[in-house]
Amino acid sequence: MRGNTKAYLALVFICIVWGTTYLSLRVAVQHYPSILFAAIRQTISAVIIMLIGYLVSRKTDLSIANLKHQAIVGFCLITVGNGLVSWGERVIPSGVAALICSMMPMCAVIINLASSKREKVNPQIIIGMLIGFCGVGLIFKDNIADLGNSAYLTGILSIFAATSTWAFGSVYNKKGKSTINPIFNAGLQLAFGGTFLYILSPFIDDYSSMDFFSPDVIWPMLYLVTFGSVMAYTAYMYTLKELPVGIVSLYAYVNPLVAVVLGYMVLNEQLTWLTAAAFVTIALGVYIVNSGYRKQHKITQRELAALQTVPDAE
């Protein structure tokens, strides 16, 4: 099977599985401290992934430079990204969390544009961003009464912070120079991110109502470790290596749809025409932004190539 075919199949897997994780997470954090739950989930997953990576290839890059890089990525994607989503889902519906997280590709494009002097904002990107923000406005309009609740508002803000930090971590990860054993490196990211979560847990979590042996904690933990972390995260690192970030980020179009539908079917979360409109509007905005970015990126690459051919021509 061709490499690109494998990468696209991995992307389809991510699209479906990560859409279901919002529901599993929402159920679990109602019965267990959210940050501690995320820490346990990610460190268990880290051990499994690193073991798989070591069995696949005995070569590992344990240089200071690589460990530092994986620690930063782990902090962005796992500690802040996954940790804040886990914390936010204590108080906001899984479907709303997923809709906000669907802004990740837009955040990734903004970060790419801000970090490169060669890339510029074009009208298509601006229009897409405006449409996407209108979609977010529809989410708030659908839940306007809840915004008066400080806990709910804090949860919303935490998901926004998680989304932007995940985007930064994804972009930063592409700059990593180590190509040795990417599966093992993915495990390192989970290990670092999970360790940071353990450190944060005593300052954030409420341990008064811990019930780890509840089926509503055990089954989500098993599912999230096996599918959400070990299989999907490894697939995510693989697709980031094989495909452009803009293509990989397309999973964010499907995740919210899966999450919203499951939240409605399983947890009886609110599903109205505004929810549907928010999903369509955000997806359209993200698509336009990505299209505008790819167009700009192609122009930049052509200009760069033209500049590089000048010395040869002379």
Tens of pLDDT, residue by residue over 170-194, are 888 877 767 788 889 889 999 999 9
Least confident of 40-44, 59-63, 102-106, 263-267: 102-106
Residue that the structure tokens 């409109």 belong to: 277
Of the two residues 87 and 126, the one the predictor is more confident about is 87
pLDDT mean over 109-117: 76
Rg of the chain, C-alpha, whole Å: 20
Return the pLDDT at 297. Answer: 62
pLDDT mean over 96-123: 78
pLDDT digits 0-9 by tens, 25-51: 999 998 899 999 999 999 999 999 999
Q: Please give the mean pLDDT across all residues of the chain.
A: 82
Q: What percent of the chain has pLDDT over 90?
A: 30
Return the pLDDT at 246. Answer: 65
Return the pLDDT at 119. Answer: 64
pLDDT digits 0-9 by tens, 288-298: 887 777 776 66
pLDDT reading at 300 higher than 60: no
Nearest to 10 by CA among 247, 257, 289, 219: 247
pLDDT reading at 84 higher than 90: yes
Return the pLDDT at 307. Answer: 30
- Tokens at 206, concatenated: 């409420």
Return the pLDDT at 113. Answer: 75
Of the two residues 305 and 147, the one the predictor is more confident about is 147
Return the pLDDT at 145. Answer: 67
For 48, 100, 197, 235, 239, the CA distances from 152, given in Å and listed in that order, are 35, 14, 22, 32, 34
pLDDT reading at 200 higher than 90: yes
pLDDT digits 0-9 by tens, 269-281: 877 788 888 888 8
CA dist 207 and 105 (Å) reads 35
Cβ atoms of 17 and 258 within 8 Å: the answer is: no
For 4, 5, 6, 242, the CA distances from 1, given in Å and listed in that order, are 8, 7, 7, 14
Nearest to 83 by CA among 232, 211, 170, 194: 194
CA dist 178 and 184 (Å) reads 11
pLDDT reading at 241 higher than 90: no
Return the pLDDT at 282. Answer: 83
Dihedral over Cα of 61, 67, 69, 72: its sign? positive
CA dist 249 and 236 (Å) reads 10
Return the pLDDT at 310. Answer: 36
